[in-house]
A = this chain, B = another copy of it.
Amino acid sequence: MVSIKDVAKKAGVSVGVVSKAFNNYPDVGKETRKRIMDIAQELDYSPNRIARNLSSKKNSAISLISSGFEENDQKDNNSFELFKGIYFGSQQLNLDFSIYFTDSFKQQEQSYVQFCRERNIGGAILQGIKLDDPFFKEMVDTNVPCVLIDVVMDEPQSCVGSVTIQNRKATEDLTAYLIERGHRDIAIMAGTKEAYVNEERLKGVQDALLKHGLTFEDKMLFYADFDDQQAYEKAKTYLKTHRPTAFVCLSDLMAYGVMKAAQELGLSVPEDVSVVGFDNSMIAGMTTPTITTIAQDFFEMGRQSALLLNRIVNGESKENEIYLNYELLERESVQDFTNSDRKEHES
């Protein structure tokens, strides 16, 4: 492997000069600099970032620590969009981007600080951590800068940022959308209890129900781990004995599961039962019928988190919490019981 030494030797200078040449130090002769650069090109040399980071104690990388990605909620391509966004943001900042994986179990064996130090991670974007994960608890005590995707801390921390949407408000809108269209008997298909977004989204549904004078009943709430199969099974069981007019699903994948259950029982969506999802995953536009959902921009979420992390690391961040916009995407999976009234109203 060609190293800085080889370049130095060939250029007839010490390694220090080569290093300086690459770091734009002023005390390198113009001709020497050119010679060094030419030789570097010739030898196909470029400085080793790893050694560079080690030596300079700076860090020129955006790291994503993705937790629990082997679980079901990753069946969609949302994470991929997020990756892309972070990649794009890193490019903008001229930083390297790498992804590391962990899971709830591994987190018990190795602490967050250890994980970061082993890999020279000066700051990280964290995705997929649950509220009861060790990393989440440790984060506050350590001062490794980080940005949380879709999790917001109770108390703001100087070195912890968040990028998310107003999940609570979004499901409130979504539920209100159903209520405004005449739905009164609404079942809820929730995800994983330990997920922050699940908590928030659930609160939002309750907010809407209460605001419209409806009651929230536990027997209409199901947890399906953000998994289509589980949602399918729970919905099927429930639909055999009950007939809600709508299902609020806290992810599109679960919405798909619910629709499948309904359709297999001979129910039409949305005529017999309406279904709404969340995320605007790719599948939401591919099912029959297509799913009305909350669209969030995962790419932008990734990009923003890269930029925010960079600001936090450099101590430039003013606002550590970024809320992105979302949009209620009307598609085909909701029945409007007030259809005629509305049409009259519109005309």
- Chain A residues with CB under 8 Å of chain B are 1-2, 44-51, 53-54, 69-70, 74-77, 79-80, 83-84, 87-88, 96-101, 110-111, 113-114, 117-120, 256, 282-283, 286-288
Contacts and interface: CB of A to CB of B under 8 A. Distances in A.
Given A69-B87, A96-B100, A286-B287, 18 more contacts: A46-B118, A48-B117, A48-B120, A50-B50, A51-B54, A69-B80, A69-B84, A70-B84, A70-B88, A74-B77, A74-B80, A76-B77, A77-B77, A79-B80, A97-B101, A98-B119, A283-B283, A283-B286
A100 B100 CA distance: 10
- Copies of the protein in its oligomer: 2
A96 B70 contact: no
A93 to B, nearest CB: 14
Nearest to A61: B119
A48 B54 CA distance: 10
A54 B164 CA distance: 37
A49 to B, nearest CB: 5
B75 A282 contact: yes
A47 B119 CA distance: 9
A167 B46 CA distance: 38
